[in-house]
Structure 1
């Protein structure tokens, strides 16, 4: 009788040992041979997931999957999305990744100086975003890089971009000088959007801003090619003398003051150029042919700078 009992105990302990060994082996065995992309839909059940894994050369038995699923602290609930399963991952690590939703993070970048047309095209062409696009306004979204997960709403992304731009504008407006010529944050955004299209560097932006501020104070026309080019939806290189005489609302050669709306999405350089206005006596600027501008206080000097620009274009 004792011999039978001892034999049964040996069988039980051996079974427990073998079961634990099998469990431990299945749980920790490296089964991913290379970094593997996997997309899981919202309603994918566990058998569908295993089928998708097998198609990616990650072979898992359903029994093993179910057995290891009970080893997690919480019930295994798999989150949909894009996954990049690293090489040498085990079954337990795969399940843990799916349960915690460690999906791929995507990036969306709005480039400084882009227009609403540019933004719409970029949003629609991004296959990782979802949902419709509302009417887009110029200027109100902050140029930056934004992170999101697969299926993220385009509307939610735009809301984040607008909130970020609002913060930037509020900071500039809060630090505006007491004698600021601009009446409100809307005008600030419009002028920043023009500076964005006119200047590339921060130093250049500050000088361009000073010219426009000086002109507004003297009630002089801004005479900015970029505003008219935006209004006519053309390249600024193709502006004609006839266009300069038109009464188009974005023609700042014809109308005094700012155009009706922003013409681009201004970045930090353009906005910060209006944060601490650089005091100058400049009223004119023209391209120097090297990516910057030549500035002048008088129209006579401005004409000389125009001739220098023409000579640089001829050399090109």
Structure 2
């Protein structure tokens, strides 16, 4: 290669390198502008969600913030009432600002208030008046027991409460009103249409004589507001809300300790994936319609679609009202290879992958239940 050719080659490489640098700079500039545009757009959107829904509004809206509500639940309630633009942004806003002390109670708020003004009002916690009726539904409660609780603190007779909870026309209206309710709840095999949909929590009613429908619907609204938290996870699952609540209700009745909920949920999914029967005792008790301290061999023969010892797959619907931890466990189950678990009276749960080991566990600890029953 001559000297001229060598120089030409070097010049060409230098020219190409310059072109590459310019292209890189152009691309980098475009990326920076795009990122800046996205960031600016995001900032403007978030900023707009903090402004009043309707700055010129002169109306007030009565809203109740239940005891125990977190940022997610409060955001959902405020968005549903038309008081804020985005419940999710509200949740992140109060979290980033480290807002504390939002009080439960009943408020009169206006769409003309911005988010900071609403937060200020909620921090004052001024309840309009003392609750006329208060009751608590523990996690894992059966519908029949919820019915008794409502009848026990109101003027409604148990028969009337039960009739309302099973009124097909009323249930259809609820299905149209609440997205978490599906037509499947009205199928013939489902014992109680609203079983599992009445959120377990404390409830305060400020009317002297609240309507039965308002009592029921407040409980459904609470469940719906919490399920908003899991909307993204629900979209990623192959299970419907009805199926998730069914599984969560089983976990709720099986697990005595929070740490066991995701593990038991994992076991249930393992059984379903293998085409096995779930074979969980709480479904047998529900099939019988009586709470059981121990499940007998005769109980296992109970003829009912809820008896998971006789039928594969999920029971027709939830067998109790699951709490948030059990719902989370079903949506985020522990990944394990366990197929069997055995609960001891002291709360310990023993897990096994093989039936032979599970059988040994049963034989070793079954007498504990007999002894505990006699104490």
Q: Shift of the alpha carbon at 1:270?
A: 1.0
Secondary structure of the residue that 2:298 maps to in structure 1?
helix
TM score, norm. by length of structure 1 = 0.62
Unaligned runs of 5+ in 1: 1-99
| Aligned position for 1:240 | 296
Distance 1:278 1:154, change over 3 A: same
Could you tell me how far apart the structure 1 residues matched to 2:334 and 2:246 are? Answer: 18
Could you tell me how far apart the structure 1 residues matched to 2:226 and 2:155 are? Answer: 27
Q: Shift of the alpha carbon at 1:174?
A: 2.3
Could you tell me how far apart the structure 1 residues matched to 2:252 and 2:213 are? Answer: 25
Alignment of 1:16-35 (within 5 A): none
| Aligned position for 2:219 | 161
Query: Contact conserved, 2:139 with 2:322, CA < 8 A, in 1?
Result: yes
| Aligned position for 1:135 | 165
Query: Contact conserved, 2:287 with 2:302, CA < 8 A, in 1?
Result: no
Secondary structure of the residue that 2:144 maps to in structure 1?
helix
Q: Shift of the alpha carbon at 1:152?
A: 2.0
Query: Contact conserved, 1:112 with 1:196, CA < 8 A, in 2?
Result: yes
**Structure with a larger share of its residues in helix:** 2
Distance 1:284 1:128, change over 3 A: same
Could you tell me how far apart the structure 1 residues matched to 2:359 and 2:293 are? Answer: 19
Correspondent of 1:203 among 259, 277, 286: 259
State the Cα RMSD in Å. Answer: 2.6
| Aligned position for 1:69 | none
Could you tell me how far apart the structure 1 residues matched to 2:229 and 2:139 are? Answer: 18
Task: Say whether residues 1:185 and 2:212 are aligned partners.
Answer: no
TM score, norm. by length of structure 2 = 0.53
Count, aligned residues = 215
Distance 1:209 1:129, change over 3 A: same
Secondary structure of the residue that 1:273 maps to in structure 2?
helix
Correspondent of 1:284 among 340, 363, 372: 340
